[in-house]
Structure 1
């Protein structure tokens, strides 16, 4: 099981922290024996499209962690 927190509100409440999402990204945390990955909220991507690349990296990290492989483009 893995939880992906989208945004600071989810991350702060689940992990009981005030650390901003940009500092929480890129590693897994434990919540009651479940691994948690944090990234930006979708609304944040609308406001700051430059963050999309970071979220894509987070999603690739999550997919790899789950032992999955992304399909190749055009497949």
Structure 2
């Protein structure tokens, strides 16, 4: 696991509310603090790192990006 980056991930509900315990995940996506990510658990957690297979139970495999125009606009007061 030398040289592998680890992330602390908080699982969320579909409503983006915290649920469950935090996870320590391998990082295959280059995610940063505060980003919404997709993670996998189990043997598949080592697949992004092939041909090596670090002993990860969970790995971040993607960063969730909002669809264009789906975000809420903030109003500015003049």
Structure 2 length as normaliser, TM-score? 0.22
More helix by share: 1
More strand by share: 2
Question: Which is higher, the Rg of structure 1 or of structure 2?
Answer: 2
Structure 1 length as normaliser, TM-score? 0.23
